[in-house]
Amino acid sequence: MWERTRRGGERRSVAVRLRRARSAAVPYLFVAPVLLFLGALLIYPVVLNIIMSFQDRQLGNLISGPAKWVGTRNYDAIFHDPVFKSAVVHSVLYTVISVAIQLVIALMLALFYSRHFRGARLFRSLFLVSYAIPIVVSAQVFKWLLDGRGMVNSVLQSLHLQDQPQYWLADTRLALGAVIAVQLWLGIPFTMVNLLAGLSTIPDELHEAAAIDGANAWRRFWDITWPLLRPTAAAATILSLIFAFKNFDLIWIATKGGPGNATTTLPTLAYQTAFEQFLFGRGAAILNLIFAACFVLALGYIFSLRREERVA
Amino acid sequence: MRRLPVSFSTAVGFLIVAVYLFPIYWMVTGSIKSQDDLFASPPQLIPIHPQFSTWSQEILHKPEVLEYIRNTFIVATGTMVLALVLAAPAAYALANFHMRGKSLIMLFCLSSLMLPAIMLATPLFVIFSRVHLTNSLLGLILADTTLALPYAIVLLRPTFASIPKDLAEAAQIDGSSSFGAFVRIVLPLARPGLATVGVLSFLWGWGDLVFALTLTSDESKRVVTTGLANFFGAFATDWAGAMAFCSLAMLPPLLVFVFAQRQVIAGLTTGGTKG
């Protein structure tokens, strides 16, 4: 009799231990598929890119075959390439100018549409239509609007603001400005919807109290709205910088980096180097520099999130 | 804050939206204009002689265009399903279980949000060439999912954290495994978050150009974005045809947006950028 109970007890404790071990493993089983997937298709590619950037990889030895190690020669070649230098300048101008103007316009729009009036809610969400449709579609439409015979020219000519049509996307002096304007159009809804979300967390009573104390709208904005909105604006700005910096689709459809190299940015240069000149090692080196820039911006984003949490 | 008369604000608000969305209006009306009307000066704001011959010639009678739509639909839906299936359990575990490396995984996901698609395109081309996944819709789904996943996890974790833990625990006491409890009790409660991730992954899969451009080259595996990129021959400029194609490529995402605006807005305010 007693033997049986003891055995039963032992069995039970083994079962308990097994169950404990199993339940300790459970969280990892939930996470394992994602980690395997991202390990194979995200981490490994990033590592492979770093390796390839130190190799001489061209079409012949891309998939298999020996690749010669060339040290930092790919990076040296990039840094001595005038096209790379202009791509860096274009990328910085493109990103900074479009996001700066975008922030101002989106802020004005958010302040306007955050008030309560008939239709405000509908109008707010209509802005997001441009976010839902593919960038390729928007780029193609703007290509037509900015064409020599396009709408922008015919309007400017009917208003006698210019006598000759301008080739906005085909003129080396105008093309970068034109794609910056389109990037601006693409980025506005994202910043605006985030600022609107930030504004909705600011209680109306604060404004009412300040208004009773005699503060005008300008003062109320700088003393109440802006300090409370700043963390949201910071996070949205960093995300917009990244969004603009890595935008390949718009420039590729609108200009392919041209005319000449007038609108070549780092992403289009990387693509052309790897997939048109088939210099995969050098393309990988450019991508790593893009990666480094995005990583710095990502750290900025995570830092601003932390700050936002602390403030809130 | 309500000093302006209501009707004045509404009129101004409408005007601004109309100006902002004008390019899209111009695209759709452009697709039903004749060549002469397209380039009329001053511009023809409302199509006076609407005609649908462009649509029937360039879209309905071109089987390849319908094939692009079909391929894109497969890629977008596949991305949506795969992202949800992989991300939901992981986000649930990261929200509710004690485990090592949790904050490291979250940090990794947050920083992966910033990764440009072009960054992965070259190495994925090499890897996929080795395992015969180039020129395949499955390859595109896998590539698109890679960039949808970190975002899905970041977005779903707070959703799962907000669902009371005792619900799943009660189910486990009643004899369910933790996975069973997750599927039957927790998942249905997380529907709003899952819908947001689903909608955004679909839109991302629908609009991707970089992976489609680099990982596929066969005409039969072309999607709408690469179809549009290749629309024009060297010098021909059939703008009416291009605008019809654009309108068609825009239609499914537009419908998704109309029926799921709330999800799109929720996704956008949690760090969703494109590309």
pLDDT at position A3 is 46
pLDDT of A9 > 70? The answer is no
Closest-CA distance of chain A to residue B15, Å: 10
We report the CATH number of the domain holding residue B180 as 1.10.3720.10
Q: Which of A147-151, A242-246, B167-171 has the lowest mean pLDDT?
A: B167-171
pLDDT at position B212 is 94
Q: What is the pTM of this model?
A: 0.87
Count the Cβ atoms, other than its own, within 10 Å of residue B175: 8
pLDDT in tens, B162-218: 888 877 777 777 777 778 888 888 888 888 889 889 999 999 999 999 999 999 988
Please indicate whether, in this complex, the C-beta atoms of A135 and B121 are within 8 angstroms of each other: no
- Is residue B102 one of the residues assigned to a domain? yes
Percent of chain B with pLDDT over 70: 94
DSSP string covering A247-291:
--HHHHHHTTT-STTTT--HHHHHHHHHHTS--HHHHHHHHHHHH
Q: Which of A105-119, A131-145, B121-135, B236-250 has the lowest mean pLDDT?
A: B236-250
- Measuring CA to CA, which residue among A291, A292, A263, A257 is closest to residue A277? A257
- Is residue B16 one of the residues assigned to a domain? no
pLDDT of B61 > 60? The answer is yes
Q: Which amino acid is at A153?
A: N
CA distances for A92 relative to A97, A98, A157, A174, A290, angstroms: 8, 10, 32, 17, 12
Look-up of token digits 């693409």: A186
> What average pLDDT does this structure show over B5-27?
90
pLDDT in tens, A26-40: 778 888 999 999 999
- Is residue B39 one of the residues assigned to a domain? no
- Is residue B164 one of the residues assigned to a domain? yes
- Is residue B64 one of the residues assigned to a domain? yes
- Measuring CA to CA, which residue among B114, B87, B36, B186 is closest to residue A302? B114
Higher pLDDT, B85 or A238: B85
Find the domain containing B246 and state its range: 25-32+55-269
Higher pLDDT, B264 or B214: B214
> What average pLDDT does this structure show over B219-248?
82
- Which residue from A141, A242, A253 is facing B273, i.e. has the nearest CB? A242
Chain A residues inside the 8 Å CB shell of B149: 34, 37-38
Look-up of token digits 């080196």: A285
Please indicate whether, in this complex, the C-beta atoms of A117 and B256 are within 8 angstroms of each other: no
- Is residue B179 one of the residues assigned to a domain? yes
- Is residue B42 one of the residues assigned to a domain? no
For A:263-302, CB contacts with B below 8 A are: 267, 270-271, 274-275, 280, 283-284, 287, 290-291, 294-295, 297-299, 301-302
Interface probe for A, chosen from B45, B118, B200, B208 (most Cβ of A below 10 Å), is: B118
Tokens of A19: 């169950």
Interface probe for A, chosen from B106, B238, B268, B270 (most Cβ of A below 10 Å), is: B268
Q: How many domains does chain B have?
A: 1
Q: Write the ipTM.
A: 0.88
Using 50, 70 and 90 to split pLDDT, how confident is the model at B6? low
Q: What is the torsional sign of CA A151, A157, A161, A165?
A: positive
pLDDT at position B3 is 56
DSSP string covering A127-168:
TTHHHHS-HHHHHHHHHHHTSTTSHHHHHHHHTTS-SS---T
pLDDT of B136 > 80? The answer is yes
- Is residue B46 one of the residues assigned to a domain? no
> What average pLDDT does this structure show over A14-43?
81
Higher pLDDT, B4 or A279: A279
